[in-house]
Amino acid sequence: MDQLSGMDASFLHLETPETPMHVGSLMVFELPEGYQGDYYEEMKTMLGKRLHLASVLCRKLAQMPFELAEPVWIEDDDIDLDYHVRSVTLRRPGTMAQLEQLIARLHSTLLDRSRPLWEMYIIEGLENGQVAFYSKAHHSGVDGKAGVELAKVLYDVSPQMREVPPPRRKRSSGVSYQLGVTELLQAAVANSAQQYRKLADLLPTAAKALTAAATVLASQRTTGGERSLNLGLAPRTIFNESITNQRSYTTLSLPLADIKELGKRVGGTVNTIVMAVCSVALDRFLRERDLLPKEPLIAMVPVSLRTEGDSAMNNQVSMVRVDLATDIKDLPTRFKAIHASSEAAKAVVRELKPVLGVNVPITGSPWLMTGLASLLGRSNFAGRAPAAGNVMISNVPGPSMPLYMAGARMVHYHPVSIPFHGSALNITVQSYAGLLEFGLTACRRVLSQDESYELVEHLRAALREIEALPPVELAPGGASGADASRRSA
């Protein structure tokens, strides 16, 4: 029995029919030459042999009495594999557009909370003979980084499927075991006491972290005429609305090596290139509709709090705000502003890392947060309240080597993510085997499928604009002039 942290449980409490809180992946596989087998059956058999290697696949929720505390994970020893692993065939001709529309529909439905919170789909019928694989798992049990760890468990690094040790036989007293009310309440009290002890032990570290963060903020001063790094509220846009459960979804693949080289040439990182490409594309998309605000758009960017070597299947993430500088017309100047804002936000998070992920138990939080989530959607409060950001943009490092599943080579690995009230568009990017894989997930009422394709074309055009920028001069030590001058400030 493992109690959810406050952050993990928040994804459960904030879930409504309009806002499913699961993350997913769309993978495309190349079957072995001359393959004549039943890929669905082979995949299901392989998954059945490996379920025990990933706890997220073998556990389900048990709610606390009267929802006085966060629920707990308990082991499920009766998993219906035919329910969790499903077969779908696309109608002819089986285009990529048809596949993306199918993923949008599959991603819009809630997971069954009486079962382990995951589903997988083997999708056949693609016109190029490839096979797609869509998986989704509830965000309460897995974040982007832990999802990559899960991928390492399920996938192989060669066409030869590795043998894994079978699960160990469970010892049983012969009596059906069911968690009782007393045991659940005892677990909740023990967990709360443990968390409060951790909070007390953390106080000296927290004081140091807050002092260091304040020093970093103070050092981020700007000279006369420079753009402020301390962001205010975001302007209102079409993305800051309450959403429905209907989704649009599109993908984009770019060569990672080219993006890295481009970042070095124009004075930024891969993350800067991603942010700048999104900035230019969103600018053009909104400007064409006469909907671009005068104030700069702000991106909400998840950042991992996970330490090196930590592969726990839980959420360890915080959020920073990055200036997309859409009010700056000159692209080189805009690029520098985006890079400076991104680096400044990451510097603060580095100092606050010891305290940002602290779990603070709150009695009654399940019913309180659930009520607030329902109110947020029904009242359209998100469409009227001040906005902290306009869109979600996430950049997740993924596997660098090609992966295989049941002997088939994975050629694409696109993320599928979560829009929410007030943030109707989520652009998630993941690296995989030399590619930078985009997944644009949005509320279809705010961004239709056709408009999502249009935004993808703007992303392509934005990259071409950045590629045309002149190279920056590097300061001594290899840093760009902007970075060097900021460090010396």
Q: What is the third-level CATH fold of 223-361+385-401+410-488?
A: Chloramphenicol Acetyltransferase (3.30.559)
d(CA 183, CA 267): 57
Has residue 178 got a pLDDT over 70? no
- Asked if 444 and 249 count as a contact pair (C-beta separation under 8 A), the reply is no
**Residue 146 burial by CB count (10 A; 0-12/13-18/19+): exposed, middle or buried?**
buried
- Non-local (6+) Cβ contacts of 99 within 8 A are 26, 90, 123, 126, 132
**Residue 429 burial by CB count (10 A; 0-12/13-18/19+): exposed, middle or buried?**
buried
**Active-site pick, 13, 22, 139, 421:** 139
Neighbour tally for 58: CB within 10 Å: 17
138 catalytic? Reply is no
CA distances from 7 to 89, 141, 266, 398 (A): 37, 10, 37, 23
SS3 content of the chain, % helix, strand, coil (to 5): 40, 20, 40
What is the pTM assigned to this prediction? 0.84
Neighbour tally for 84: CB within 10 Å: 21
Beta-sheet pairing, 131-138 with 118-124: antiparallel
Instruction: Encode 374-421 in three state secondary structure.
Output: HHHHHCCHHHCCCECCCEEEEEECCCCCCCEECCEEEEEEEEECCCEC
Q: Residue 56, SS3?
A: helix
At residue 315, the pLDDT reads 57
Which residues, in sequence order, are bridge partners of residue 88? Answer: 123
pLDDT digits (tens, 9 = 90+) for 184-226: 555 555 554 554 454 444 445 445 544 544 555 455 555 445 6
At residue 385, the pLDDT reads 76
**Residue 91 burial by CB count (10 A; 0-12/13-18/19+): exposed, middle or buried?**
exposed
Q: What percent of the chain has pLDDT over 70?
A: 72
Neighbour tally for 101: CB within 10 Å: 18
pLDDT digits (tens, 9 = 90+) for 348-366: 676 655 544 444 444 445 5
- Non-local (6+) Cβ contacts of 117 within 8 A are 22, 60, 61, 111, 137, 138, 140, 141
